[in-house]
Amino acid sequence: MAFFGWDKSVPQPTKIDREAFVVLIDRPSGLVHEIVVSLTQNKTTSWKKVQGVQPTLHVGEMLEAEHVLLNDELVIAECRKLGITDMKQVFIDPWGVGYHESIKGKRLMQALVYMRTSADDNQYAHPLDFNPLYDVNEKKVVDIIVAKRRNSKFERPTIPRANHHFLPEHIGTENLRKDLKPIQITQPEGVSFTIRGQQLDWQKWNMHLSFNYREGLVINNVSYKDMDGTLRPLFYRVSLAEMVVPYANPYKPYNHKMAFDVGEYGLGNLTNSLELGCDCVGSIYYMDAVLSDMKGEPWVIPKAICIHEEDTGLLFKHTDYRTGKAHSARSRRLVISHIVTAANYDYGLYYYFYQDGTFQYEVKATGELNTQVLAVDEDAAPYGTIVAPQIDAQHHQHLFSMRIDPMIDGRNNSVAETDVLPSVHPVGHPDNIVGNAFGPVSKIFSNTDEAQTDASPQTHRSWKVINESKIHPYAKQPVGFKVIAPNSPPLLAKPGSIAYERARFAAKTLWVTQYHPDQLFPGGFYCYQSEPSDNLGLPQFTRETKNVRNEDIVLWLTFGLTHIPRVEDFPIMPVEMCGFQLKPANFFLGNPGIDLPSSDKKSTKSAYAPADAKSCCGNNSL
């Protein structure tokens, strides 16, 4: 964390040389160049060639791949063998190849092939059984891998033609529910946030927003104004720094399905323009994102970022049972989000800020399961679920790595790990007479070896980012923010596997490292076709033991979903959520939302009152 703003002893920069880091790939040679350009001086400051690495894919390369593949003789011939003669019915999702010895020096994609029965039919209902291997730089097919049937009397499956639609125009208006009355969210006096350039103020929160091709939305310099007006620094930079979706099927070609949607494709690159449809309701402020196209020209995604407020129910309430007097305050959150489409899957990525000083990050996974075809007599178990006849949705995980660069009341922070354990004393001991005693047991990580730790649901394990130089006057403990994570299981692929060795970050729930400006990506900067090794990202950053106590530190938090698909996830998956919260813990002098006015009772009315009835105070006794 480069620290400024709050520490008056640090000289403030008066002039900043703004620089851009450019990664360039030349085609067809595949040579990769790293260039630093000074934007203020309008010149190149460094330029070097790098060997043996592959930059993040560009959406342009994926679209180009689909076009070339659909016109390739081998692909056309393979489709014919399956009875498909009209190539306009065929659609191809090009994926990263993962890693294999034989691909060294090449830039390849594996293509997942589907058909559609009409222009916007759901292609994941009609998977084909072969994967072409495609050379991105040479723009040609290098191999075709036909999946072998297992426990089937057929050599090739028939391609299921039954449609599994989800678009309302396919389902038919007559089949849509008709009993939904409108819900309207209105903010008659406007929104409660203000935006100046990239700066955002909402309630007592202040932050800076940025966006890049790789992490998408990044939140910087988050601070909170305390009751006495002090601006208290909290987080220097928070971003979704990597994710991996490893699939469980052990057979060729599916055993190389492991998508790193941040490092291989780029969340920024995959971001939707919300012009095309937005899931946020109410008064919305949109921001455009500017990325670069395949030639390095600006590529604008209009309305990429959505900023709005949401009512989230109760923040607190108490009723005096003697007098019947009640006071309740409703909770509102600021939502800053974008939505990415990673071929079949869609992810809503939400940063939430609450009025009680809580920060939350949530991923909403939706879209389409990645499907493969089965022969009519084949089973998907134990590596997949049959979600419709002949359609195998293979088991997988979605593991996310959040990079949290804290500055809780200052630059130097520590991390304490707490397990809640039964008393060490046996039942009957004077300090545990009836055996009910339990309590938190904490340790503060001193170095990077200790600070690689696992979830432990049995002990309700949690972590707190603390500032040991600021002791809370009441709690007599360092001020802090608690990490509330759902204790999800880490990577299930075995040590030694390609998935595990490329995604070692996901094998631990929490890592803490010393801040280093070049350490942004837990799976390594060059993630595409990265060679399984301990020289990538977090294993590399932690090779040398470093102090993480009272230091400028960074937390890397893994959370996610272990997805055993359900039939109900098909043909389109209802949102599945995961994420974490950072909650003030002995940081403020009391509930920071205490100054919220009582909930507005005027805007409620009895559920069965006539639609045009005026609002009332809601005597809802039945």
**Could you list the residues that contact ligand ABN (CB under 6 A)?**
62, 93, 95, 259, 261, 265, 270, 342-343, 345
Q: What's the closest the beta carbon of residue 563 comes to Cu ion, in angstroms?
A: 3
Q: What's the closest the beta carbon of residue 391 comes to Cu ion, in angstroms?
A: 15
Residues ≥6 apart with Cβ < 8 Å to 229: none
* Torsion from C-alpha of 582, 583, 588, 593, nearest 10 degrees: 120
- Using CA atoms, how far residue 579 sits from 215, 351, 417, in Å, is 16, 10, 19
Nearer to Cu ion by Cβ, of 248 and 548: the residue is 248
Give the footprint of Cu ion on this chain (CB under 5 A).
563
Structure tokens at 292: 């670069």
Nearer to ligand ABN by Cβ, of 365 and 585: the residue is 365
Angle at 54 between CA 113 and CA 63, to 5 degrees: 35
Nearer to ligand ABN by Cβ, of 164 and 256: the residue is 256
Active site residue 345: yes
Choose among Cu ion, ligand ABN, none what residue 205 binds, the Cβ cut-off being 5 to 8 Å by kind: none
Choose among ligand ABN, Cu ion, none what residue 368 binds, the Cβ cut-off being 5 to 8 Å by kind: none
Closest CB to Cu ion: residue number: 563
Choose among ligand ABN, Cu ion, none what residue 238 binds, the Cβ cut-off being 5 to 8 Å by kind: none
Nearer to ligand ABN by Cβ, of 95 and 588: the residue is 95
Residues ≥6 apart with Cβ < 8 Å to 18: 38, 39, 40
SS3 1: coil
| Cα 257 from Cα 343, distance rounded (Å) | 13
| Cα 488 from Cα 508, distance rounded (Å) | 10
Q: What's the closest the beta carbon of residue 241 comes to ligand ABN, in angstroms?
A: 17
| End-to-end CA separation in angstroms for the chain | 58
Nearer to Cu ion by Cβ, of 347 and 580: the residue is 347
Nearer to Cu ion by Cβ, of 336 and 387: the residue is 387
Contact in structure between 339 and 279 (CB atoms under 8 Å): yes
Q: What is the DSSP annotation of 137-160?
A: TTTEEEEEEEPPPSS-S-SSPPPP
Beta bridge partners, 132, equal 144
Q: What's the closest the beta carbon of residue 344 comes to Cu ion, in angstroms?
A: 9
* Strand order, beta sheet including 345-354: 285-292, 298-319, 326-342, 345-354, 359-367, 573-585, 478-484, 462-471, 414-422, 438-444
Q: What's the closest the beta carbon of residue 104 comes to ligand ABN, in angstroms?
A: 22
Choose among ligand ABN, Cu ion, none what residue 342 binds, the Cβ cut-off being 5 to 8 Å by kind: ligand ABN
Angle at 96 between CA 142 and CA 578, to 5 degrees: 160
Choose among ligand ABN, Cu ion, none what residue 415 binds, the Cβ cut-off being 5 to 8 Å by kind: none
CA 8 centroid distance within chain: 35
Q: Tell me which of 224, 254, 345, 354 is the catalytic residue.
A: 345
DSSP state of 13: P
Choose among ligand ABN, Cu ion, none what residue 95 binds, the Cβ cut-off being 5 to 8 Å by kind: ligand ABN
* Torsion from C-alpha of 110, 368, 155, 92, nearest 10 degrees: -40
Choose among ligand ABN, Cu ion, none what residue 563 binds, the Cβ cut-off being 5 to 8 Å by kind: Cu ion
Q: What's the closest the beta carbon of residue 483 comes to ligand ABN, in angstroms?
A: 28
Nearer to Cu ion by Cβ, of 147 and 387: the residue is 387
Q: What's the closest the beta carbon of residue 122 comes to ligand ABN, in angstroms?
A: 17
Q: What's the closest the beta carbon of residue 125 comes to Cu ion, in angstroms?
A: 17
Neighbours of 491 (CB within 10 A): 22
Q: Tell me which of 261, 392, 405, 409 is the catalytic residue.
A: 261
Choose among Cu ion, ligand ABN, none what residue 133 binds, the Cβ cut-off being 5 to 8 Å by kind: none
Choose among ligand ABN, Cu ion, none what residue 82 binds, the Cβ cut-off being 5 to 8 Å by kind: none
Structure tokens at 590: 């009391």
Amino acid at 411: R
Contact in structure between 347 and 215 (CB atoms under 8 Å): no
Nearer to ligand ABN by Cβ, of 339 and 485: the residue is 339
| Cα 614 from Cα 617, distance rounded (Å) | 10
- Using CA atoms, how far residue 179 sits from 168, 176, 594, 605, in Å, is 16, 9, 40, 20
Nearer to ligand ABN by Cβ, of 257 and 308: the residue is 257
Q: What's the closest the beta carbon of residue 329 comes to Cu ion, in angstroms?
A: 37
Q: Which residues are catalytic?
A: 261, 345
